[in-house]
Amino acid sequence: MGTVLLILAGVLVGGTWSLHKQGAARAAVVVTGVLAALATVGGLLWLLPGEG
């Protein structure tokens, strides 16, 4: 699951960059960027060793 989240984060980062380059609304760029950051953090936390 961690790998899937990191792959999703990569797609979202690419989407954020593409939206920025196309001159999309700032809100769309920010929302996509926040989702990319959350997916990255989630993927990294999922991969940390722990209980379970």
Domain positions in the chain are 2-47
Tens digits of pLDDT across the chain (52 residues): 999 999 999 999 999 999 999 999 999 999 999 999 999 999 999 999 876 5
Contact 33, 17 (CB under 8 A): no
Rounded CA separation 14/35 (Å): 12
What are 35's two structure tokens?
């989702």
What is the per-residue pLDDT for 18?
97
Alpha-carbon gap, residue 28 to 39, rounded angstroms: 16
Nearest alpha carbon to residue 19 among 2, 38, 34? 34
Q: Which pLDDT belongs to residue 45?
A: 94
pTM, entire model: 0.89
